[in-house]
């Protein structure tokens, strides 16, 4: 595990709603929002951030674990409010597909490719370090091809909808298991999922 004496301690809070977790990872007042709200719900998101004492202008980036509507619905709204969207290169193709699942009543603001910060997984550690967060972003397909996980050096991992192996339906179980195996091998020990409670990482998930 890496140590950086200059790093602020990391705090994690949930500003989620409608059965979905939206995690604010903070290094002091430098913050990253992991998963980015339901479409058309910026009012609820702003209210939750305020209630949890997270000034919107302290959020340095948003990151969607994958581009499904309950995880990336407000990405463009955040961009309009001055918070850039961090996109991993394996996610770029999934962004325009998202709108095909949206109904007009959802009030979705379509995500454009302009103004995004697009990086590779290999470049993620340096970017995160630039905002005081020690960790990396890993490609963890299974639930969807564009799924990524944020793994902090303290063992906390944000997995979005990466499927529990006993819930695998249409997914390829070997792809799901390989993603869990990768996370365990890289040091993941506490899972912060996109839905449901925080839980300890189960090393048998990758078997």
In whole angstroms, the minimum distance from the beta carbon of 29 to Zn ion comes to 30
> For residues 117-152, b (16+ Cβ closer than 10 Å) or e, as one string?
eebebeebbebbbebbbbbbbbbbbbbbebbbbbbb
Q: For the sheet with 30-34, list strands across it.
A: 10-14, 23-27, 30-34, 59-63, 85-88, 117-119
- Count of residues touching Zn ion (by CB under 5 A): 2
Using CB positions, name the residue nearest to Zn ion.
Answer: 68
Residue 34 vs 133, nearer CB to Zn ion: 34
Residue linked to tokens 């059965």: 19
| Binders of Zn ion in range 110-169 (CB under 5 A) | 161
- Report the distance separating Cα 140 and Cα 148, nearest Å: 5
Residue 54 vs 87, nearer CB to Zn ion: 87
In whole angstroms, the minimum distance from the beta carbon of 19 to Zn ion comes to 12
Site string for Zn ion, 49-78 (x = CB under 5 A): -------------------x----------
Please report, as ranges, the residues that interact with Zn ion according to CB under 5 A.
Answer: 68, 161
């Amino acid at each position: 595990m890496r140590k950086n004496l200059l790093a602020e301690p990391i705090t994690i809070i949930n500003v989620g709603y409608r059965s979905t977790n939206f995690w604010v990872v903070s290094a002091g007042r430098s913050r990253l929002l992991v998963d980015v709200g339901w479409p058309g719900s910026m009012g609820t998101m702003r209210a939750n951030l305020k209630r949890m004492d997270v000034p919107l202008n302290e959020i340095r980036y948003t990151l969607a674990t994958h581009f499904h509507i309950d995880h990336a619905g407000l990405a463009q709204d955040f961009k309009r409010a001055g918070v850039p969207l961090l996109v991993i290169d394996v996610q770029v193709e999934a962004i325009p597909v998202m709108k095909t699942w949206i109904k007009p009543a959802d009030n979705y603001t379509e995500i454009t490719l302009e103004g995004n910060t697009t990086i590779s997984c290999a470049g993620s550690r340096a970017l995160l370090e630039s905002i005081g967060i020690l960790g990396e972003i890993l490609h963890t397909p299974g639930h969807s091809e564009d799924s990524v996980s944020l793994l902090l050096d303290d063992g906390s991992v944000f997995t979005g909808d990466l499927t529990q192996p006993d819930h695998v339906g249409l997914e390829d179980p070997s792809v799901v298991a390989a993603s869990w195996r990768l996370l365990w091998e890289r040091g993941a020990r506490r899972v912060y999922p996109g839905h449901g409670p925080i839980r300890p990482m189960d090393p048998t998930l990758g078997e």
